[in-house]
A = this chain, B = another copy of it.
Amino acid sequence: MISDKMKKLSAGKSAIRAMFEDGKKLAAEFGAENVYDFSLGNPSVPSPDAVNKAAIEILENEDNIFVHGYMSNAGYESVRQAVADHLNETFGTNFGLKNILMTVGAAGGLNVILKTLLNPGDEVLTFAPYFAEYGNYVLNYDGVLIAVSPDTETFQPNLAEFEEKLTAKTKAVIINTPNNPTGVVYSEQTICAIADILNRKQEEFGTSIYLISDEPYRELAYDGVEVPYLTKYYRNTIVGYSWSKSLSLPGERIGYLVMPDELDGSEEIIDAAAIANRVSGFVNAPSLMQLVAARCLKEKTDIEAYNKNREALYGALKELGFSCIKPQGAFYLFIKSPVSDEKEFVAYAKSLRLLIVPGSSFACPGYVRVAYCVSYDTIQRSLPSWKALAEHYGL
């Protein structure tokens, strides 16, 4: 009864979401405190107090119809201006409100920009390992996602293969730094190299190649590492942002797209993206949360809580003999499976009530993702299970 596209998706499902559902079942059976759910990127740190305070103030003092009513499909002008001002102040950019489109989270934003840009058959490149939904998003518009193989030593982008895989059909490149699932942050040098390759290939093919920077983890960077703002390095950059992680609002679906004036066809793209936002069924980003986000632009999540988790879990897993690079950002560890079929590893971990996600969900089999956005207590209580897991595999 369902469409052919959905049949394939239903067969594949999302391993992450399946694990999340499994986790709820296990929690019901064994008690939530005995299930160590490292499956989902659901922030464990509550929103800054300012978030609920702003929401309550808006609900109590602003006009009801303004707060809950329709606005332009691109979002409230005041909110878009506030976002532009904040970016300009933070990164020295020069955006105006017209460069900002408020979206239903970063997932909504990516879909809007891909719908805006892609004709069937257009190619979109990304670097493995990558968030599996990219494949689904590109497929929504009958584009073709092409993955550049991972460099499993460093999980930095494989630039030689990247250059090879760019073709005259490449319409966009999706980049995600700090990275899900590896936690890697791309250095300024890497960004410059990517920009350089893209500029050369644009010239060679006489095309425009849009670099879409998916940035939900921008603020989650540790040890003082810098996360370069990409519009400054490459003209055809579009940024997709979300407050899901930075303000711990993943359920609220609130984010934005930045489409700079410097884009080839900027006006046409900006105009079409607002229409794509409407016709895709988003219509507009949720209104109250737009107003809340605009009041909380300078708020920061408790990065130290994630950092404490990172240090504790990374340290413990290394000591137990697991192999893993130390992440500089996001809230994930990407661990090498001790057996080549990481799904077997994941299944055994589950028997110890450790919920983790197979790397094949990120086009990188042989690895697993551990989301450490859990309570510090969960990490501590999970250690005996990790120990048993290490022992089972003779580490």
Q: Choose among B1, B55, B59, B69 the residue that contacts A117 (Cβ–Cβ < 8 A).
A: B1
Q: Choose among B2, B52, B208 the residue that contacts A59 (Cβ–Cβ < 8 A).
A: B52
- A251-B70 contact in complex given A6-B272, A9-B279, A140-B279, C-beta closer than 8 Å: yes
Chain B residues positioned under 8 Å from A112 (CB to CB): 281
Across the two chains, which residue of chain B brings its CB closest to A107? B281
Q: How far, in whole Å, are A278 and B136 apart by their CA atoms in the complex?
A: 10
**Which residues of A in the span 28-47 have a Cβ within 8 Å of any Cβ on B?**
40, 42-44, 46-47
Chain B residues positioned under 8 Å from A150 (CB to CB): none
Q: Is the CB of A71 within 8 A of B279?
A: no
- Interface status of A351 (Cβ within 8 A of chain B): no
Binary interface profile of A, 146-176, with partner B (CB < 8 Å = 1, else 0)? 0000000000000000000000000000000
- Interface status of A110 (Cβ within 8 A of chain B): yes
- Interface status of A17 (Cβ within 8 A of chain B): yes
Q: Is the CB of A65 within 8 A of B44?
A: yes
Across the two chains, which residue of chain B brings its CB closest to A274? B17
Chain B residues positioned under 8 Å from A352 (CB to CB): none
- A2-B272 contact in complex given A71-B251, A249-B68, C-beta closer than 8 Å: yes
Q: Choose among B65, B208, B263 the residue that contacts A248 (Cβ–Cβ < 8 A).
A: B65
Chain B residues positioned under 8 Å from A252 (CB to CB): 68, 286-288
- A17-B55 contact in complex given A119-B3, A284-B253, C-beta closer than 8 Å: no
**Which residues of A in the span 279-299 have a Cβ within 8 Å of any Cβ on B?**
279-289
- Interface status of A341 (Cβ within 8 A of chain B): no
Q: Is the CB of B46 within 8 A of A52?
A: no
Chain B residues positioned under 8 Å from A43 (CB to CB): 65, 69
- Total interface residues in chain A, CB < 8 Å: 82
Q: Is the CB of B250 within 8 A of A69?
A: yes
Task: For residue A62, give the distance in angstroms from its CB to the closest CB of chain B.
Answer: 10
Binary interface profile of A, 252-269, with partner B (CB < 8 Å = 1, else 0)? 110000000001110011
Binary interface profile of A, 102-127, with partner B (CB < 8 Å = 1, else 0)? 00110111111001111100000000
Across the two chains, which residue of chain B brings its CB closest to A1? B265
- Interface status of A322 (Cβ within 8 A of chain B): no
Across the two chains, which residue of chain B brings its CB closest to A55? B59
Task: For residue A141, give the distance in angstroms from its CB to the closest CB of chain B.
Answer: 7
- Interface status of A311 (Cβ within 8 A of chain B): no
Q: Choose among B265, B268, B286 the residue that contacts A251 (Cβ–Cβ < 8 A).
A: B286
Q: Is the CB of A283 within 8 A of B105?
A: yes
- Interface status of A333 (Cβ within 8 A of chain B): no
Q: How far, in whole Å, are A191 and B146 apart by their CA atoms in the complex?
A: 49
Chain B residues positioned under 8 Å from A71 (CB to CB): 251
Q: Is the CB of A10 within 8 A of B280?
A: no
- Interface status of A390 (Cβ within 8 A of chain B): no
- Interface status of A318 (Cβ within 8 A of chain B): no
Closest 7 pairs between A and B when the two form their complex, measured CB to CB: A251-B287, A1-B265, A111-B281, A46-B64, A136-B279, A107-B281, A6-B272
